[in-house]
Structure 1
């Protein structure tokens, strides 16, 4: 096995794969170490069968019990195929009452392709305002529920602008493979690389009508209009990756986009879009089922990457450049574990005590309702329509909000019995498996009536918005709980700021209005099931939407950031962190496309160095 590479990348998701794709094509030797397995779609296997089971978050094995000495010890859970066993590698979070609970929330998927294998594929750009929230909020006296002035104290502008990242948005959209529409988006496009979207599902007409009402009633200027949600799913043959779409376009439509691997390879995860095209290159290697345990340094260089191979044997590789892209919580954990056993590494990575601080997710939530008629939602993708009206400066100032967000509908909500089973009464990844088990009223005729009233009729509208960065929201190493290798696990310490709660309630009202006025444009008299923000959930502190961001923010001031503007750790010459950790604010949209665009940007910088 080779041990010397130009670049060693830890993680194969949105933060690592664009760098590998770029550098391998430029002739550099690249190794990716991935903790999870390599699962291939049908067209890549000789027998024509997919490695995906369509039940990635479910297990057909026996129930297990949490064994760690935490508040939910003894709670039953099932292991999934691509998430860690809670007993092997839990994340621990602290509830408001001080109880500590074990969870797998915060793992975006341990599999080649990372979270892009299982995400809903929503691939929105951030808005230009998302890059300059410190400047936008300077001197404002109208912010609601911010008594201590935390917005103006804690907000940071990005060290790069939208215009600087825009060419890399274009590159990512071209190479990843995304369908959608650019007109009506409130972001400048220098080039439109979207493939045409499929016909929207009939039930989505309510969302479109409601968004048109919302856009007209939340702006002082000309109405903001909805557009087709950009989704990382190809609808036409995709030349950069060599993928072909089926001759029958109906095959593309599937309610199993969100939370499932795509057996056809149509969802543009980083394996099929960016890594498969380089997989057979002599200067590229990917090693699945390999767990990196620590980094070692000599002076300002990371000299060794230590990992366990699939047999559990410790091995070492070296790279001129080392990229950490494990998803933010695990990246922070890896850097902190590396610092435990190496005082020099500790001094350099903790030069200003900011590593792990300003951990971010997203303010998110929405509204849901049962529509008046039923649609066949097995023929749908995950989101048909989106709108940017809640991201305009006019809207934010009228509501006293510090930052905006995107709103889009979830077409596949309650599409089929199995999608009901993964959402009914579940509150996080750990309880998805419970489904109907704890709702003992759903038996016999009650179950038949429940299915008849809900399948194909449920529609939800979601928002995704910036969370206020707080230094107290952080990732630590837990002092007592260890993983199966004896290493301290990640300890998630976070709260929702009062302004976050106000922001979520405000945008949830907008989502509810989309449903109310989508059915009743004349007066919004339609009754919805409910609306709200994630902070209202029983385990709202753990709910992080798998948008794992911050903790190693980049910036232009070495005293105020962990990484420089090119995501290099300030006191290391060759250590970069390129997953969502680098973000100083979480953005008003789903983060994957921005992580990919920034990684393409970093790749160009690395080419100058190698």
Structure 2
């Protein structure tokens, strides 16, 4: 083993929404900071940013490792190991949790538990996070919108003509579509969203020079400070404590086939909810027989990842929108007149490509292609609008991450499924009404192929190291420090007690900024 002769004030493991943001926050302190990332810097050439390449080519970022489901069957997770983590390939939709999300909420299938901190504790950090990640949005139209101390830092991305037509059709039904908040690099926005040069460029939001991600707004600015060091291709495999088990003294990592040991005063995990839990479980010792910081036996439990469905709407005229991901609808977030429980959140997907319409996953597409000679998947894709429907899944201690032998097991059974089914059918009714009153519908009788995301999709992972005041029922305290180990923190989505109905990225970013303030006080 190679022992690094440096001693760091802070070691951050992971560079995604949590780790990358925290590095940016702490860099100006002048403290000696080491950032370890198991992946590498991603390629920035334009041809490397095709959406489907990211999940189909062997040399693209989705990991080749195998995980195992609760039946013991192997699967390949759709997770990325690059500097910037999953923010390199996320949709950049950055939404605040609703004020009520932080309280106890009754769902049809159970209870979404109360958070130990409330919306007002996060609000200042949401504001900071939106500025840091250049969020473009517009307040005042979302019926569930929480209190804001400041307006969005940038104006929303305008709806293109076809998307504006859809918005008007939604509004005519008494609903309240609004501009989806998006994290985009302001200095490039006009180049890509108001220039004819991007005609046909359906991968625009996947361009690293457009999207605000943890590499661009977190890690790269932090590295301008001489006190910050980044080591890539550094897979952390174990955390070693002192003899009392109360502090982490060494971080063991594999770099280019060699074992390295790094020493630090404060250790921060930001590996994602799954891998942070795995690292704690793999760091079991005599003082921590169930896994590091796992006296409560809660590490790895209560895994959540939302119930997600992609739905496709077709039109007779081609959809010429260059960037269609601008619409959001929250009218069913807390239910409706026929269902008093929360249903969830709806937004556009990015532009649908031919390879995103797998006929084996959507049998109705296969039938349509057979019935319409010469009108294949490419034509269907060119005539499509994609919708993303998302429902909160509830924390369940049996939905958990485990390490059995050398295998990572992700035991997950979806819950709250009726609420999600109701959201699907309620949205289909909305689309049918739009299509009945439109000359643009390709299938006016209502054909809306859909596909649910399988266990492989863990983009919204959260909950495996929940925070709380009781060390018997939580892993972290209110500052996201582990109850059992004094100098060990977790700043990814692991800390969530519940998942809410919106994407977790902005809350992870805001929390990293909040924990950053605590660490700055501690370091000083």
When normalised by structure 2's length, the TM-score is 0.89
| Residue aligned with 1:20, SS | helix
Residue equivalent to 2:62: 83
Distance 1:7 1:83, change over 3 A: same
How many residues align? The count is 509
Q: Note the alpha carbon deviations across 1:492-538, whole angstroms, 9 max, x for none.
A: 111123xx11011011123213322233359x99433336673xx7x
Q: What is the deviation of 1:359?
A: 0.7
User: 1:11, 1:326 within 8 Å by CA — same for their partners in 2?
Assistant: yes
- Match for residue 191 of structure 2 among 246, 255, 259: 246
User: 1:11, 1:32 within 8 Å by CA — same for their partners in 2?
Assistant: yes
User: 2:319, 2:384 within 8 Å by CA — same for their partners in 1?
Assistant: no
Q: What is the deviation of 1:2?
A: 5.9
1:495 aligns with 2:413: yes
Residue equivalent to 2:135: 178
- Match for residue 81 of structure 2 among 95, 110, 113: 110
User: 2:134, 2:212 within 8 Å by CA — same for their partners in 1?
Assistant: yes
Q: Output the CA distance in 1 between the equivalents of 2:378 and 2:290.
A: 58
Q: Note the alpha carbon deviations across 1:286-343, whole angstroms, 9 max, x for none.
A: 111111111111131111110011x21111112211111111111111111111x554
Q: Output the CA distance in 2 between the equivalents of 1:585 and 1:543.
A: 20
Flag structure 1 segments of 5+ consecutive residues without an equivalent: 42-49, 61-76, 138-142, 217-223, 238-242, 414-418, 429-437, 480-487
Q: Output the CA distance in 2 between the equivalents of 1:28 and 1:51.
A: 36
Residue equivalent to 1:470: 396
User: 1:579, 1:595 within 8 Å by CA — same for their partners in 2?
Assistant: yes
Q: Note the alpha carbon deviations across 1:59-97, whole angstroms, 9 max, x for none.
A: 89xxxxxxxxxxxxxxxx863421222xxx211113xxx
1:334 aligns with 2:279: yes
1:583 aligns with 2:496: yes
Q: What is the deviation of 1:465?
A: 2.2
Residue equivalent to 2:254: 308
| Residue aligned with 2:418, SS | helix
- Match for residue 564 of structure 1 among 462, 471, 477: 477
- Match for residue 255 of structure 1 among 202, 208, 213: 202
Flag structure 2 segments of 5+ consecutive residues without an equivalent: none
Q: Note the alpha carbon deviations across 1:562-605, whole angstroms, 9 max, x for none.
A: 11111111111111111111111111111111110111111011
Q: Note the alpha carbon deviations across 1:522-555, whole angstroms, 9 max, x for none.
A: 9x99433336673xx7xx4x15451111111111
Distance 1:551 1:426, change over 3 A: farther
Q: Output the CA distance in 2 between the equivalents of 1:328 and 1:10.
A: 13
| Residue aligned with 1:323, SS | strand
Structure-to-structure mapping, 1:387-466, within 5 angstroms: 387-392=329-334, 395=335, 398-401=338-341, 403-413=342-352, 419-425=353-359, 446=373, 448-451=374-377, 453-466=379-392
Q: Note the alpha carbon deviations across 1:188-243, whole angstroms, 9 max, x for none.
A: 111123322333233323531343245x2xxxxxxx52211011123x32xxxxx7
Q: Output the CA distance in 1 between the equivalents of 2:506 and 2:178.
A: 17
- Match for residue 211 of structure 1 among 152, 160, 170: 170
Residue equivalent to 1:295: 239
Q: What is the deviation of 1:375?
A: 2.3
Q: What is the deviation of 1:427?
A: 5.8
Q: Output the CA distance in 1 between the equivalents of 2:32 and 2:194.
A: 39
Q: Output the CA distance in 2 between the equivalents of 1:288 and 1:550.
A: 26
| Residue aligned with 2:157, SS | coil
Aligned CA RMSD, in angstroms, stands at: 3.0
1:129 aligns with 2:100: yes
When normalised by structure 1's length, the TM-score is 0.77
Q: Output the CA distance in 1 between the equivalents of 2:404 and 2:367.
A: 37
